[in-house]
């Protein structure tokens, strides 16, 4: 979750701020969408121009393949990866997958799997880098296993991001386990939740969420679906609720509403809010398009949920007083049905929603309160293909393309390009920002750029 201390922040947003250490707002990125889950680092001021020879503090190679965002806390940067080890072998037999019943057209989800099949054992690793120079502070490989199914050709068997609340670090490898550590790398507990069977063998990717003493994992796939709450200190299960969804890659969002925490889960059949303490359904709204991937964002009492595969859908839901089925109620304060993202999540900053069309470099900006277009859809000058989600800091938006271009825009009422930064690399993972630093995860390297890159950093 992300923290925002901007002028005009409402009481409802401040309630969310209180759930995470104030230090995160100023100088940390504790989960994949930042301190409040909206993609903004409100007190940060990273460089506008950067590259291999400009504002580069360090660049380090990370073994294997991972698509998760670098997570920052204190003097550490945490990344997850899966590295193929040992000899190549024949992949496990993969039968045709027949669709079942269920809501949302499970019967239409059969057919041969199309993901890249595993041919090597994967060594799953948690790596803590020193934020000052990128050196390895500690690393741990909790498990080595041959994956039971494939992953997307552009994906990884380690696509989730780590998450921390400043006390523990959670490394989620999906079917291969959820592992908890202290911040110095001591293993605390682990939980095995089963084996996912993802749509078209496209792999896994949702990250866990943490709030207070509770960890939440959303487990939507082509088998028995559920959402589960675990005790942060022990990993013991607090409650579990069955769900009926096709594969979902969205990370759940936890917010405070009227003094009670709700888990908001994006999915194809229904957007559902669960009470964090009991797991009971608070409200439910008609769902998204197929393959729900973008994570919800929240501010000022309203949550924004969207998806964009085989259609487009965006809904803005007022949370105060929302109960039961709100699909056709006034709690859906506005909606939009075009140019929404497939893989990237939206950015919410300064009352504006920024989002891409599908996985393209076509950008829209909406007034979050009114649901009216501010600008766009407009084609980005240099970016054509996108998986990474936009981020913001210092009055600027950072857009990261798969082909190695990073555009920096001025936040405002028009598409105003400040700089385009070019790399001989590609970026699928979403960036992170902390203090005066921007972190990018390329295909094999993690980069740290800073406005004072030539000065020694102390923590």
Dump pLDDT digits (tens) for 50-75. 999 999 999 999 999 999 999 999 99
Q: Are strands 347-349 and 332-336 parallel, antiparallel or unpaired?
A: unpaired
Beta partners for 172? 178
Domains, the chain, ranges and CATH? Answer: 11-450 (2.130.10.10)
Rounded Cα distance between 138 and 29, Å, is 19
Q: What is the pLDDT of residue 89?
A: 86
Tell me the pLDDT tens digit for each residue of 5-32.
232 333 333 333 333 333 344 589 999 9
Mean pLDDT value of segment 66-95: 90
- pLDDT higher than threshold 90 for residue 161: yes
Comparing C-alpha atoms, which of 103, 109, 91, 268 is closest to residue 200? 109
Q: How far apart are CA 142 and CA 339, in angstroms?
A: 41
Number of H helices, E strands in the chain: 2, 33
Q: Which residue has the higher pLDDT, 102 or 453?
A: 453
Summarize the chain as % helix, strand, coil (round to 5): 5, 45, 55
Q: What is the pLDDT of residue 98?
A: 40
Lowest mean per-residue pLDDT among 146-160, 268-282, 374-388, 433-447: 146-160
User: What confidence score (pLDDT) does residue 311 get?
Assistant: 95
Cis peptide before 170 (omega within 30 of 0): no
pLDDT band, residue 94 (cuts 50/70/90): low
Sort strands 281-286 and 324-325 into parallel, antiparallel or unpaired.
parallel
What number is the average pLDDT over the span 419-437? Answer: 97
- Give yes or no for a contact between 67 and 205, defined as CB atoms under 8 angstroms apart: yes
State mean pLDDT over 359-376.
Answer: 98
How would residue 305 be classed by pLDDT, with cut points 50, 70 and 90? very high
pTM to 2 decimals?
0.91
Q: Average pLDDT, stretch 114-119?
A: 84
The DSSP code for 13 is H
Supply the pLDDT for residue 96: 55
Write the pLDDT tens digit of every residue in 96-116: 544 433 333 333 333 444 678
The reported pLDDT for the residue numbered 459 is: 64
pLDDT band for position 166 (cuts 50, 70, 90)? very high
Confidence tier at 90 by pLDDT (50, 70, 90):
confident
Q: What is the number of other CB atoms lying within 10 angstroms of the CB of residue 370?
A: 12
| Summary mean pLDDT of the chain | 90
What was the pLDDT predicted at 8?
34
Q: Would you state the pLDDT for residue 6?
A: 31
- Which residues on adjacent β-strands are paired with residue 448? 58, 439
Task: Give the pLDDT confidence of 389-400 residue by residue, as tens digits.
Answer: 999 999 999 999
Does 43 score more than 70 pLDDT? yes
290 forms beta bridges with 309
């Amino acid at each position: 979750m992300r923290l925002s201390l901007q002028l005009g922040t409402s009481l409802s947003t401040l309630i969310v701020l209180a759930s995470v250490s104030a230090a995160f707002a100023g100088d940390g990125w504790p989960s994949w969408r930042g301190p409040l889950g909206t993609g903004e680092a409100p007190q940060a001021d990273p460089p506008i121009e950067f590259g291999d020879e400009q504002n580069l503090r360090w660049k380090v190679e990370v073994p294997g393949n991972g698509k998760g965002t670098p997570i920052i806390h204190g003097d550490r940067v945490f990344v997850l990866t899966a590295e193929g080890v040992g000899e190549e072998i024949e992949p496990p037999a993969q039968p045709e997958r027949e669709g079942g019943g269920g809501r949302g057209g499970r019967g239409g989800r059969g057919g041969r799997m199309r993901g890249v099949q595993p041919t090597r054992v994967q060594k799953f690793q948690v790596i803590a880098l020193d934020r000052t120079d990128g050196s390895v502070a500690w690393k741990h490989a909790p498990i080595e296993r041959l994956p039971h199914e494939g992953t997307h050709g552009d994906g990884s068997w380690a696509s989730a991001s780590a998450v921390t609340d400043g006390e523990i670090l959670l490394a989620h490898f999906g079917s291969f386990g959820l592992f908890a550590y202290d911040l110095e790398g001591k293993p605390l507990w682990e939980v095995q939740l089963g084996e996912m069977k993802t749509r078209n063998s496209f792999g896994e990717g949702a990250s866990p969420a943490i709030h207070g003493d509770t960890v939440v994992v959303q487990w939507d796939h082509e088998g028995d679906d559920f959402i589960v709450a675990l005790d942060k200190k022990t990993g013991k299960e607090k409650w579990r609720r069955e769900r009926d969804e096709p594969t979902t890659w969205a990370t759940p969002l936890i917010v405070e509403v009227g003094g009670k925490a709700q888990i908001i889960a994006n999915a194809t059949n229904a957007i559902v809010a669960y009470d964090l303490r009991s797991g009971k359904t608070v409200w439910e709204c008609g769902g998204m398009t197929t393959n729900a991937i973008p994570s919800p964002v929240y501010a000022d009492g309203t949550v924004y949920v969207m998806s964009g595969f085989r259609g487009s859908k965006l809904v803005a839901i007022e949370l105060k007083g929302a109960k039961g089925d709100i699909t056709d109620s006034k709690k859906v304060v506005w909606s939009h049905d075009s140019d929404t993202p497939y893989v990237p999540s939206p950015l919410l900053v300064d009352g504006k929603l920024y989002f891409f069309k599908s996985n393209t470099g076509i950008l829209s900006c909406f007034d979050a309160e009114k649901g009216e277009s501010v600008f766009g859809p407009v084609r980005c000058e240099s970016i054509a293909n996108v998986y990474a989600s936009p981020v913001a800091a210092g009055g600027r938006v950072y857009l990261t393309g798969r082909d190695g271009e990073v555009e920096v825009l001025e936040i405002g009422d028009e598409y105003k390009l400040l700089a385009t930064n070019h790399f001989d690399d590609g970026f699928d993972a979403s960036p992170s920002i902390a203090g005066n630093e921007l972190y990018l995860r390329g295909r094999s390297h993690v980069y740290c750029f800073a406005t004072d890159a030539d000065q020694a950093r102390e923590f």
